[in-house]
Amino acid sequence: MKKRLSQSTIEKLNYYVYALIDPRSDKVFYVGKGKGNRIYAHVEASESVDTNEVMKIAKIREIRAAKKDVKHVVIRHGLTEDQAFAVEAAVIDYVESVQKQQLTNLMSGHYTAEAGIRTIEDIEIQYEAKPAIFSEPIMLIRVNRHYKHGITDKELYNVTRQHWRVGPRAFQIKYACAVYLGIIREVYEIKSWTPTEVINGHQRHGFNGRIASKEVRDKYRYTSVKHLFKQGHQSSIVYAEPN
């Protein structure tokens, strides 16, 4: 029998943020937000053969195979939709970044890039960074989709270096910068470019390089290039010329 909330309860709940808990470990494995009977929708979906959310559904099926029931917990209710988005993102950040516990969510939640969990030092960098002043041509590579709290040097290098659709201009530039939220996070000296893969019929390339010298790194790292990435700008790459 499918579980359902009464209409009067639904009306009082409004938007809410909830967690699904594995009763075998008492650990949260999914955080979501919604209205109505959304909280029960995942267990219902696990009864379907065809589903996209593989990790979450597999977890639910494991629990049910062990003759247990998923625990459903409402974390906050009586929220507007915007408030629910914010609470959901905060809880996901806390569980994954502070508790170091992997959730089965496909998405990290709204507002994570702009206001997600980070150190106070990084917040100061975000709001106090001075505009970059360039003394040579620089390739700026926006890595917003791949950047995360606690990213390692190796991970940042790998998401910055590939896979890009670039032309002859890129091959003439000596330095590339990883940019997150309009701030330069790292500076690399480009040694060479190599083809990586073909996407939608277009050859992509990746650069081979190393962290730039201290002099160059100190000049650009943690400076702002927000003014070069205009609102609505779609490309991940911008070329900066000497000021």
97-136: per-residue pLDDT in tens? 888 888 998 776 554 556 677 788 888 888 899 999 999 9
- Whether the pLDDT of residue 208 is over 80: the answer is yes
CA separation, residue 196 to residues 79, 156, 192, 206 (Å): 46, 18, 13, 6
Determine what percent of the chain is predicted with pLDDT higher than 70: 92
**Amino acid 113: pLDDT:** 55
**Amino acid 232: pLDDT:** 66
**Amino acid 168: pLDDT:** 93
The verdict on pTM exceeding 0.75 is no
139-192: per-residue pLDDT in tens? 999 998 888 777 899 999 999 999 999 999 999 999 999 999 899 999 999 999
**Amino acid 16: pLDDT:** 97
For residues 216-237, give the mean pLDDT.
Answer: 89
**Amino acid 115: pLDDT:** 66
User: 7-115: which CATH architecture?
Assistant: 3-Layer(aba) Sandwich (3.40)
For residues 42-49, give the mean pLDDT.
Answer: 85
Reported as a pLDDT band with limits 50, 70 and 90, residue 76 is very high
pLDDT top residue among 202 and 212:
212
| Mean of per-residue pLDDT scores for the chain | 90
Reported as a pLDDT band with limits 50, 70 and 90, residue 1 is low
DSSP letters, the chain, are ------HHHHHHHBEEEEEEEETTTTEEEEEEEESTTGGGHHHHHTTSS--S-HHHHHHHHHHHHTT---EEEEEEEEE-HHHHHHHHHHHHHIIIIIS------SS--TTHHHH-S--HHHHHHHHHPPBP--SS-EEEEE-TTT--TT--HHHHHHHHHS-B---HHHHT--EEEEEETTEEEEEEEEEEEEEEEEETTEEEEEEEEEEPPHHHHHHHTT-B-GGGS-TT---SEEEE---
**Domain map of the chain by residue range?**
7-115, 120-240
**Amino acid 106: pLDDT:** 76
**Amino acid 148: pLDDT:** 77
Look-up of token digits 């790459």: 237
**Amino acid 51: pLDDT:** 60
Reported as a pLDDT band with limits 50, 70 and 90, residue 48 is confident
20-45: per-residue pLDDT in tens? 999 999 999 999 999 999 999 999 98
53-63: per-residue pLDDT in tens? 688 999 999 99
